[in-house]
């Protein structure tokens, strides 16, 4: 079984790349983030023509998540239980953003998550990010300890260690690398989840995100912030795990590349 995750940075803009990648990589399950489209505007028909069902959750602005599956869906859940909302500075309303969707797809249960960016240390969005991560931890406790293969996949907007950065000094004082963020990620893993990518690697530095600016991708100035965290039944079934860098190339790509995990189930 092949499971993957990809922040596509607008599923409508990136639809040709997504369809082409589905045709070559042929994942059984693909988690998507940063749809930037509403649930109704998701390209269900184009996806269905390739043999995939889709469950999407979006409002048409900056967030949005989805799961594509060739093996069906059961028990679809949108939003984390007790998921916090965010109140923008120019708004009087706290909004629960569409950043999480879960489903059971064949033998595995997955969450597709788009963790808040945090913007700047000490910004309200940074503290919202930490609260959101705690809600994700709470949502994973039961499934992480269970016997069914379970994984949380997506854009975590956290580099787990300095080794996941092209140059740690370039990120000093910035979000994605602070101790509270990494501690929140460690607390999530403490529920019984492990990072499955550092098993067999196709690249020495498996970055998954490269900024569009300053030739970051050709110079491989990237970060590993797209993760697959699996419980023991999931992790022990992994036979390969890699970042598909080829999908970051070409015309108008996403600034992220897919993370692919093969499982013997």
What pairs with residue 222 in β-bridges? 210
How high is the pLDDT of residue 204? 61
Residue 35 · residue 64 · CB < 8 Å: yes
pLDDT digits 0-9 by tens, 126-164? 999 999 999 999 999 999 999 999 999 999 999 999 989
Residue 261 · residue 4 · CB < 8 Å: yes
pLDDT digits 0-9 by tens, 4-32? 999 999 999 999 999 999 999 999 999 99
Indicate if the pLDDT at residue 207 is higher than 50: yes
Residue 159 · residue 223 · CB < 8 Å: yes
Residue with token string 């293969």: 149
Burial (Cβ within 10 Å: 0-12, 13-18, ≥19) of residue 129: buried
* pTM score of the predicted model: 0.96
Indicate if the pLDDT at residue 44 is higher than 80: yes
> Domain residues for 178?
2-263
How high is the pLDDT of residue 71? 98
How high is the pLDDT of residue 205? 65
Q: Could you tell me the CA-to-CA distances from 107 to 2, 3, 4, 149, 181 in Å, in that order? A: 12, 11, 15, 7, 31
CATH number at residue 173: 3.60.10.10
Question: Where does the pLDDT of residue 62 fall: very low under 50, low under 70, confident under 90, or very high at 90 and above?
Answer: confident
Residue with token string 């080829």: 246
Rg of the Cα trace of the chain? 17
CA pair distance 117, 23, nearest whole angstrom: 31
How high is the pLDDT of residue 197? 87
Please state, for a pLDDT cut of 70, what percent of the chain lies above it. 96
How high is the pLDDT of residue 200? 43
Residues 57-79: what's their mean pLDDT?
96
Indicate if the pLDDT at residue 112 is higher than 70: yes
How high is the pLDDT of residue 92? 72
- Number of domains, the chain: 1
DSSP label of 212:
S
How high is the pLDDT of residue 101? 98
Query: What is the helix (H) or strand (E) element at residue 154, kind and residue range?
Result: strand 150-155
pLDDT digits 0-9 by tens, 154-190? 999 999 999 899 999 999 999 999 999 999 999 999 9
Residue 9 · residue 256 · CB < 8 Å: yes
Indicate if the pLDDT at residue 106 is higher than 50: yes
Residue with token string 């940063």: 34
Query: What is the helix (H) or strand (E) element at residue 102, kind and residue range?
Result: strand 100-105
Residue 153 · residue 159 · CB < 8 Å: no
Indicate if the pLDDT at residue 201 is higher than 60: no
Indicate if the pLDDT at residue 193 is higher than 50: yes
pLDDT digits 0-9 by tens, 215-259? 999 999 999 999 999 999 999 999 999 999 999 999 999 999 999
């Amino acid at each position: 079984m092949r499971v993957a995750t990809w922040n596509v940075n607008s599923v409508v803009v990136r639809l040709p790349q997504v369809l082409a990648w589905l045709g070559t990589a042929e994942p059984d399950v693909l988690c998507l983030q940063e749809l930037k489209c509403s649930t109704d505007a998701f390209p269900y028909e184009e996806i269905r023509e390739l043999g995939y069902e889709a469950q999407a959750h979006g409002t048409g602005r900056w967030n949005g998540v989805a799961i594509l599956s060739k093996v069906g869906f059961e028990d679809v859940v949108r939003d984390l239980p007790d998921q916090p909302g965010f109140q923008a500075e120019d708004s009087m309303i706290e909004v629960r953003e569409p950043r999480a969707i879960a489903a059971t797809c064949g033998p595995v249960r997955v969450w597709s998550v788009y963790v808040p960016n945090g913007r700047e240390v000490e910004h309200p969005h940074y503290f919202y990010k930490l609260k959101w991560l705690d809600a994700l931890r709470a949502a994973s406790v039961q499934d992480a300890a269970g016997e069914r293969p379970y994984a949380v996949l997506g854009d975590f907007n956290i580099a787990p260690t300095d080794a996941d950065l092209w140059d740690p000094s370039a990120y000093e004082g910035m979000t994605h690398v602070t101790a509270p963020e990494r501690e929140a990620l460690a607390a999530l893993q403490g529920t019984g989840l492990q990072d499955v990518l550092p098993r067999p690697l196709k690249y020495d530095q498996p970055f998954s995100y490269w900024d569009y600016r300053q030739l970051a991708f050709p110079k491989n100035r990237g970060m590993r912030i797209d993760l697959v965290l699996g419980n023991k039944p999931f992790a022990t079934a992994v036979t390969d795990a890699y970042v598909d860098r080829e999908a970051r190339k070409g015309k108008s790509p996403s600034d992220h590349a897919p993370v692919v995990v093969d499982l013997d189930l």
